[in-house]
Every structure is written in structure tokens, then in C-alpha cells.
Amino acid sequence: MIYLDYAANSPADAEVLETFINTERNYTGNPNSAHPLGMQAREKLAEVTADIARTLAVFPAEIIYTSGASEANNLAIKGIADIQQKHGKHIISTPLEHASVSGPLAWLQEQGYEVDLVDIGQDGKIKLEHLRELLREDTILAAVTAVDSELGTIQPVQEIAELISHYENCRLHVDATQAMGKIPFSFAGIDTVSLSAHKFFGLNGSGLLFKRRPLELTPLIHGGAGASLYRSGTPTLGLAAALAKALGKATASLQERYAQVMKLNEELRQELGKNPAVVINSPADAVPHILNVSVQGIKGTRMQQMLAEQGVCVSVKSACSTDGQPSKAVYAVSGDRRNALSSWRISLSHLTTEEEIGAFLKILTGLVAGKA
């Protein structure tokens, strides 16, 4: 089996699993409880949170534990929209967003909010001039992805933050799910940031939302104590500790892992570029972890199935998107619906081997030749 879908899920690191197991075994009490074992667990949670805060260069009080980036995106978008509606109901986003961003935005539209999408250039980046034109005095939120999950495009987050800073009632939410642990990321000028542990070799069902002080949000969950006023429920100490371990390892080895993945990406681009039936959709300056391609005349879903039959795992769009529809990201950059329908995603990690890349290329070449 050749696994080329690390952007959808990465295998849990052995040390991360060990951290989770040991934490769950050694800390019996509920961190919300007032007795000695509860206080011991609460102290450990504070220690873990401080560790994460140091890694991210933020304050511990700015961290809200969630079940993953989907919950974090919903909490940020719905929570900001509700609090800020006294200033307006205008929201700006992009056609590149994950379903956990576009979904709550569509829900807000049904509640009477107005949502505008920023135009995308052929390089996959949002057009800053169009963003400037869309910003209004009643704009209360801009929601953008740091790295597009389909193309791997790196968005100019700091330039976006600078534009938005001139509108005092507008908040900036960034989905950093595909950026964290892969590329350097700055929280400067951003109000909320979501991330998910299973994208950087942590555990599924674990993530967090960064919320800059003193921003307020309307919670999604009401009732019951929690580690944060904005997320009720008993904190899962083991998941928090495992997230801290995964995040620490990913950031500490970021440069080394990046170099390994870049080498594999360059090899893929070079070899795929020799095949006239293959179109590379990811821009040259995308993260090397994601490479979006199309094979002319073959729908992405069919190509995925054909590769799966040969033991190769890839994705069509993101793992959480709707099947059978053209990729909005690829269509946005190419304007070609057929090409967007034919697109699919290869995603790599430092665990991907040269042997796997060689075997994949041989399989793909055979499949394309057989359909020619």
C-alpha cells in the first residue's frame, strides 16, 4: 500500500501515543474537581497549556481546546458573527475554504448575514486589491485559509491582516490546519486561528482554537464547566498532552521535514511534467506537502478509484468535501471546469519514501497509457 494522503490524516507518532496513554493512566481526577486528584490534573493541564503556548508564541489564556479544526472553525466564525452583529452582518471569505468554514458561512447567510468571496488569481492567492474593495465599515469578519488544502497555496496572511487592521470592527479568522507543523506561521495581527492535531502526527479528535485576548465569542456549547469559558465540557487531559507533544515535535523538526518533502515534490513535478496528459494545478510556490494534478480525460473520482485498485491512496479535493463536484479551488485558478473535475491531490510527508514515489509514478504512467 502506498499512502499519499497525509493532508487528510497523518499516522499518530509513537511518542505522542505514549504521552496520551501515560497521561490518562497517571492523572485520574477531573481537572474541574476540587479534590487533590482533580487539582493534580488541573495543574498538569495548566503545564501542558503553557507548553503549547510557548511553542506557538501566544498566551496560555488564548488557547481553547476543541475536538479538531472543524469545531474550532465553527466556534470562531459563529461566535464572532454573533458577538459582532451589533456592528454589522457583512463577512468576507474565499472560494478556497474547507467545508468547516464554508459550511458555517452558508448557515450564517440563512440567518441574514451577507457573505462576499474574494477573487482568486491564477497563482492561487487571493487578490488583495479585491479584498480592499470588499472591505466595508459593516464588515465584521474575514475568514481565510493559511494554506489551501487542495492546491497547497500559501495565502498572504500578514498582508491580509494589515488591510483588515484599518477596520476596527472586523475580525480575522485563519484556518491554519494545513500550515501548522509544515511551514513557519505567525499569529501576528490575527484574532482567531484553528488547527488540528491529526494533521501533524497527533491524535484524531483533538485540536484547538487560538483566540486573541480580549476578544469575546459566543460559545457553541452551553452548560458545564470546562478549561475555557468558551468551550464547556470536561477537558481531556491526555489529548491535550498528546497535542503538545505532537506540536512540539513537528515545530522542532520543521526545517528537516520540509527539506525531505521538498525533494520528493520536486521529483514528482519533474517526472509528471514529462507526461503530456498530466496537468499540475498547484502553483510553484505552494507548500511541497500538497501537489494537485489532473489527468486529461479522466475524472478525479475515477482516477482515485483506479489508483486505489493498485494500492495507492490519494484524495479527490479534501477528505471532508462533497463528491462529484468540480474542485472550487482548481476551477478558481484555471477557469476550466473539466480540468477541475479531473483534479486530485497527492499529499506527502517526511515519512514518504523515494521507493514509494518511484512505484507510484510507474503505476500512474501505466494507468494513463492504458487510457490513452
Find, among 124, 357, 184, the residue nearest to 260 by Cα: 357
Q: Is 320 a residue of the active site?
A: yes
Amino acid 39 reads M
CB-based contacts of 278, cutoff 8 Å, min separation 6: 272, 293, 294, 295, 296, 368
Grid cell 486561528 in the structure block, residue = 193
Helical packing angle, 14-26 and 237-252, nearest 10°: 150
Query: Which is the catalytic residue, given 134, 320, 359, 361?
Result: 320
Long-range contacts of 80-83 (CB under 8 A, 24+ apart): 80/140, 80/141, 80/171, 80/173, 80/191, 80/192, 80/215, 80/217, 81/108, 81/113, 81/140, 81/141, 82/217, 82/218, 83/216, 83/217, 83/218
State the catalytic residues: 320
